[in-house]
Amino acid sequence: MSKAVRIDRNGGPEELKIVDVEVGDPGPGEIRIRHKAVGLNFIDTYQRSGLYPFPMPLQLGMEASGIVEAVGEGVTHLKAGDRAAYASQPPGAYSELRVMPGRNVCKLPDAISFETGAAMMLKGLTAQYLLKKTLPVEGLQPGDFIVFHAAAGGVGLIACQWAKALGLKLIGTAGTDAKCQVALDHGAAHAINYSKENFAARVKEITGGKGVKVVYDSVGKDTFEGSLECLRPFGLLAIFGNGSGPVPPFNLGLLGAKGSLYVTRPTLFTHIATRESTQAMADDLFAVVESGAVKIPIDQRYRLEDVQQAHRDLEARKTTGCTILTLD
């Protein structure tokens, strides 16, 4: 038996319930893993609220770390006793123990702790595919400016550090002066408090009126128009989240009028659709973390039993960096 967090219907944090579930043996292509720590992500709130619909009842959670207890037929990259971490569909990480597909589960290097492993996978792999794969048509070169919204969040603080390691000048945005300072402390070249300043105008000022090649936007509705204003001709707006709600329909002619712009809506799970791509991206992430160039900031820890409060704080923008659920 395992304790797990489940919802029986969509709604607010009050729908999150601790239940006992029976966990069996892994089938072909599956593993059974006993979690040491679980990561929280904004996507979890989308699934809870119904913005991203799933059949009910739903066990939440997209990333965790732990020890592999058993592997099913066909799983060759893991064995019982391995330290492991993952970001993976289907949801179910908010639990002590689970059976799940092994495809996206990676062996965790000994130098990386279970807490760091749980906090880094979904957010770190997201930063990896954004900075390495979601690129403007003209590419990115050292010295280029980029804009990254919600720069003091879990993905943002990893991106601040990784961008600096790549020689990029990251302009981060956040909603408070304190969060802007956190972004600067983690490698952002500039930080803009969008609750006080017009971030698009400030970006143009920072770049000498040129704008940037790419904006990485997880906020969505509230920042969409301003993000387009930040772009230079042929620039790319990569919308990878909906923190303020989904972007409403818009006239595609706007992209032509503003300089032959590009807009894309990538997802992590397209990028980790195969075992090979998952491992290659994870190897890149593990290497940059082990090198010390990127540190994983865990600023909030909650017990599994306190998951409702964790969701409230996440949605109220009270968190910075990464948030985990602890199981010990």
Could you read off the pLDDT of 125-166 as tens digits, one per residue?
999 999 999 999 999 999 999 999 999 999 999 999 999 999
Pick from 120, 130, 57: nearest CA to 91 = 57
Q: What is the pLDDT of residues 303-320, one digit of tens each?
A: 999 999 999 999 998 888
Residue 195 has pLDDT above 90, yes or no: yes
Q: Is 182 in the same domain as 241?
A: yes
Domain harbouring 37, CATH code: 3.90.180.10
Q: What is the pLDDT of residues 242-264, one digit of tens each?
A: 888 889 999 999 999 999 999 99
What pLDDT sits at residue 12? 97
| Structural domain total, the chain | 2
Which range of residues forms the domain containing residue 94? 2-123+269-326
CA atoms in the 13 A half-sphere facing the CB of 107: 10
CA atoms in the 13 A half-sphere facing the CB of 124: 32
In this structure, are residues 32 and 87 in contact, taking their beta carbons and an 8 Å threshold? no
Pick the range with the lowest mean pLDDT from 40-54, 57-71, 136-150: 40-54
Q: Is 290 in the same domain as 218?
A: no
Q: Is 160 in the same domain as 245?
A: yes
Pick from 103, 111, 119: nearest CA to 154 = 119
3-state secondary structure at position 145: strand
CA–CA gap between residue 265 and residue 258 (Å, rounded) = 19
DSSP state of 248: P
Q: Is 143 in the same domain as 91?
A: no
Q: What is the chain's mean pLDDT, rounded?
A: 96
Q: Is the pTM of this model over 0.85?
A: yes
In this structure, are residues 313 and 300 in contact, taking their beta carbons and an 8 Å threshold? yes
Residue 297 has pLDDT above 80, yes or no: yes
